[in-house]
Structure 1
């Protein structure tokens, strides 16, 4: 007997502050990536589907995005200057 199926994992790529198209409020939006993998005997083997979405934290509306739209949102909201790693502090002068 072979046990097969699929499993979906959700990854939060970023939390962005945007104006919601549904409620019109400036609110936090979770940019998510849903990866569905084929499983054999409960072991995830290979991806069979990837979907991107963004969800408003205020009203809860979820909109699907293309991969290109998700990458564009990530690129627009990345910090220009990389922050210093945690644990490394600059000396006081």
Structure 2
């Protein structure tokens, strides 16, 4: 008998201050990476799905972003001054 399946991993990449496209408030947004891996006998072998999203901490709205945009936001979080309002992000 072969036991296989999937397992999901959630990574928090950065916390950014953005203007929410849903509620309009300048609030902290978490940039997250969700990776789904194929498992064999409960051992994760390789990733087959990777998705990025930002979530507003004020209203809870989650917006999917592309990999390139996630990399730009992560670089912006690492290099920008803390506590400063960033560019608005629209849905």
TM bucket normalised to smaller: 0.7 to 0.9
* Superposed structure 1 runs of 4+ greater than 6 Å apart: none
Q: Which has the higher contact order (CA 8 A, sep 6+)?
A: 2
Bigger CA radius of gyration: 1
Count of equivalent residues: 81
RMSD across aligned C-alpha pairs, in angstroms? 1.4
Q: CA deviation at 1:77?
A: 2.2
TM-score (norm 2): 0.84
Q: CA deviation at 1:78?
A: 1.6
TM-score (norm 1): 0.82
What is the aligned partner in structure 2 of residue 71 from structure 1?
71
Deviations 1:1-47 (A, max 9, x none): 11100001000000111110000001110000001100001110000
Gaps of 5+ in 2: 81-91
